[in-house]
């Protein structure tokens, strides 16, 4: 069925896209960050931030951690409705966590997980 091939291709592309967005940031390393550290010390521990922003005299470093998707599933023998359910389950399982490190006057003053 051409539609099943399309769905399989979509799943492969989705998996590669998410895997390509994964960072090397490890949130458990945040426990090594302490007030008073400078930006370079933070980057040495956590790596380069995904992005940074400044407001007044405060700099914010933002990090993202995304869990890897489950292994690819072979849909060649699956029905179209089963494939659609599997794709939805994979999308739901891709959890992303965001973290912020706040630096004021060149020193860390706070870090936290951002919640929606």
> For 41-81, how does the pLDDT look when each residue is reduced to its tens digit (9 = 90+)?
999 999 999 999 999 999 999 999 887 666 655 656 567 77
Domains and CATH numbers, the chain: 2-67+80-114 (3.30.1450.10)
More confident residue, 94 or 114: 114
Under 8 Å between Cβ of 40 and 116: no
DSSP H helices in the chain? 2-21, 39-46, 80-93
pTM above 0.75, yes or no: no
Under 8 Å between Cβ of 98 and 21: no
Q: Would the pLDDT of 104 be above 60? A: yes
Q: Determine the pLDDT at residue 1.
A: 44
């Amino acid at each position: 069925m051409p539609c099943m091939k399309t769905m399989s291709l979509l799943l492969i592309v989705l998996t590669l896209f998410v895997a390509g967005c994964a960072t090397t940031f490890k949130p458990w390393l945040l426990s090594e960050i302490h007030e008073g550290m400078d930006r370079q010390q933070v980057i040495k521990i956590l790596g380069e931030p995904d992005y940074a922003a400044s407001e007044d005299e405060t700099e914010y470093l933002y990090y993202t951690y995304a869990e890897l998707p489950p292994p690819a599933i072979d849909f060649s023998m699956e029905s179209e409705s089963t494939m659609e359910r599997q794709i939805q389950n994979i999308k739901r399982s891709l959890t992303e966590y965001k973290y912020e490190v706040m630096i004021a006057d060149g020193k860390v003053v706070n870090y936290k997980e951002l919640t929606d």
